[in-house]
Amino acid sequence: MDDSLLFPLKLSVQVATVATVFVVIVGLSAAYILSRKNFSSKELLDIILTLPLVLPPTVTGYYLIVLLGRNGLLGRYLYAWTGWSIMFTWYAAVLASFVVALPLMVKTARAAIESVDENLIHASYTLGHSEYWTALKVILPLAKKGIIAGTILSFARAMGEFGATLMIAGNIPGRTNTMPLAIYSAAAGGDRSQATIMVIVFTLFSGLFLYFANKLSRRIL
Amino acid sequence: MMKKIAVMLLISFFAVVLPIASTHAEPTTEITVSAAISLKNAFEEIGKLYESKNIGSKVTFNLGASGDLMTQIKGGAPVDVFASAALKDMDDLDNAGFVVKETRTNFVLNSVVLIVPSSSNITLTSFEDLKKAEIQKIAIGNPKTVPVGRYSAETFQYYKISDMIQTKLVLAENVRQVLDYVARGEVDAGIVYSTDAMVKQHEVKIIVTAPEESHKPIIYPIAVVKGSKNEKTARSFINLVTSDEGRKILSKYGFKPIAPAK
């Protein structure tokens, strides 16, 4: 079990990166569907996807437990078939970060996709391109700014996730103690020096991340 | 347009200020008791008894892991009484100068039990059985802040199983969370106070009680916090806790009251 101060940072970056990858894939798909398709339950889908943004993370965490706990609505089947539960694993931390960061991606990407000039999309269709090709080569590149902004926001949110993570991944040193959880433990345990060091490291990391993210986005755009 | 904005601002200003102004009419015999969460049921009953005997008074409970509560008090939390599940947390507070020493007294003893979900069909008869492969997750309180976590770690040391079960441990924020994990079946076993197991006796099974020599004595102290704005009420609450009536309520919930030193 790795007890060092670096483990929480390493774990947070790992969890946030994996979560962001899923957020981009799922979020972009959802944003595309919400902005360009019409179906009866569209508003309901939008509300469900946005809910984790409005609900306190502990409420989201509670729902995840009800769904995926060992005796949860879905979790019980997973446990019965595989003897495995997501609770108290770093995958649970990824799931928590994914759920809370997804709305940020969906909202920003949807706005970006909706702002793409409809004429350009029609032009692509009249030239014979498929919807898939149009989405990939016309819409997404034109919505680049919003998508990148959404990705940065999602990663940042995933790095800072605390409430839902604490509930489903627990705060197990060396296994699921992400930086926010480790700082909380240090502060609650009266370990001021540990807490201070971690807070400074985390702030520096976040600052550097934003600096490079901005630089990169300027270069791409 | 400007008039509309001005009116909205005025309304929101009063909507915020008026409720705050009204909360300043506090009863002067109101105390906040920070107590170890294992005392929840017993203390809530004693609190109601206190309020019925002292009309106009109000006892508010702040429950949690003793270590967390102690850190809050050290950080300046406006608490009048502190009751912890271990001498260590009270000693820490005392050494930091936050305790009114003459009010400090030990009031109950407790014991620690190994529990499993009532639906569990894993055969466990002792602490040593926790080494079994079928036991994959064991919930204990976080030893850094939760007294029962420390008692659990001491018991593991006593049975020489600490290294073998290290990777199975799930650390909880307080003893009731350990109880909840076991009751919900999220873990295969957990260690809580016998008094907590009583609270969820239908959802958990007690396997065995840890012998007294396997851990430090489980003694709960209580004291008035220095700087309390209602020291008289605080002392009077402690008197009720250590009185015959208080001890009867504590016994009802499984605690072993200590006769107050005369």
Confidence of residue A135 (pLDDT cuts 50, 70, 90): very high
B222, β-bridge pairs: B83, B105
> Is B9-109+219-257's fold the same as B112-214's?
yes
Residue B189 in this model has a pLDDT that exceeds 90: yes
CB atoms B186 and A1 under 8 Å:
no
pTM of the model: 0.83
- What is the CATH number that goes with domain B112-214? 3.40.190.10
| Domains in chain A with CATH codes | 6-220 (1.10.3720.10)
**For residues A196 and A186, what is the distance between their CA atoms, to the nearest angstrom?**
9
Q: How many Å lie between the alpha carbon of A10 and the closest alpha carbon of chain B?
A: 19
Are A171 and B171 inside 8 Å of each other by CB? yes
The pLDDT score that the predictor gives to residue B20 is 62
User: How far apart are alpha carbons B74 and A179 in whole angstroms?
Assistant: 24
Is the ipTM higher than 0.90? The answer is: no
Is B24 a residue whose pLDDT tops 60?
Answer: no
Residue in chain A nearest B182 by alpha carbon: A70
Check whether A192 has a pLDDT greater than 90: no
Measured between beta carbons, which residues in chain B are less than 8 angstroms from residue A166?
Answer: 173
CA-nearest of A62, A100, A186, A94 to B180 is A62
pLDDT for B259 equals 77
Burial of A215 (0-12, 13-18, 19+ CB in 10 A): exposed
Which residues face B105 on adjacent strands?
A: B222
Measured in whole angstroms, the distance separating CA B205 from the mean position of its chain's CA atoms is 21
Confidence of residue B2 (pLDDT cuts 50, 70, 90): confident
Give mean pLDDT, residues A3-14.
Answer: 87
| CA distance linking residue B218 with residue A69, whole number of Å | 32
Residue A190 is predicted with a pLDDT of: 78
Task: Give the up-direction half-sphere exposure of residue A210: CA atoms within 13 A in the CB hemisphere.
Answer: 9
Question: Residue B8's pLDDT is what?
Answer: 85
Q: How confident is the model at residue A2 (pLDDT cuts 50, 70, 90)?
A: very low
Other Cβ atoms closer than 10 A to B87: 17
To the nearest whole Å, the CA of A166 is away from the closest chain B CA by 10
Report the gap between the CA of B143 and the closest CA in chain A (Å). Answer: 10
CATH H-level, domain B9-109+219-257: superfamily? Periplasmic binding protein-like II (3.40.190.10)
The pLDDT value recorded for residue B18 is 67
Residue B83 has pLDDT above 90, yes or no: yes
The mean of the pLDDT values for chain B is 92
Mean pLDDT across chain A, nearest whole number? 92
* Spans of all domains in chain B: 9-109+219-257, 112-214
Whether A163 and chain B come into contact, CB under 8 Å, resolves to: no
Q: Is A68 helix (H, G, I), strand (E, B) or coil?
A: helix
For residues B84-111, average pLDDT: 96
